[in-house]
Amino acid sequence: MIRLNLYSSFLVTNAFLPIMRKQKYGRIVSITSAMANFEYEGLGAYSAAKAGLEGLMRTVAIEEKIMVY
């Protein structure tokens, strides 16, 4: 779950940010889940991955000084 829902997004973001910076334009769309904010038995890895993805994207937005919708 972590590799699929968090690490893969990290890799793609890392690959495309330099291109977006050079073009001075770009969009990253991440799909998360309400599960990032709730806990259910047996879904810990999924919830952690989605919460991590939300944190990653907020941090990228702050570092790149962009708007988050």
Is position 46 annotated as part of the catalytic site?
yes
Q: How far apart are the first and last CA of the chain?
A: 25
For the chain, where are the E strands, in sequence order? none
Catalytic residue among 25, 40, 46, 69: 46
Are 50 and 36 within 8 A, CB to CB?
A: yes
What is the identity of the amino acid at 27? R
Active site residues: 46
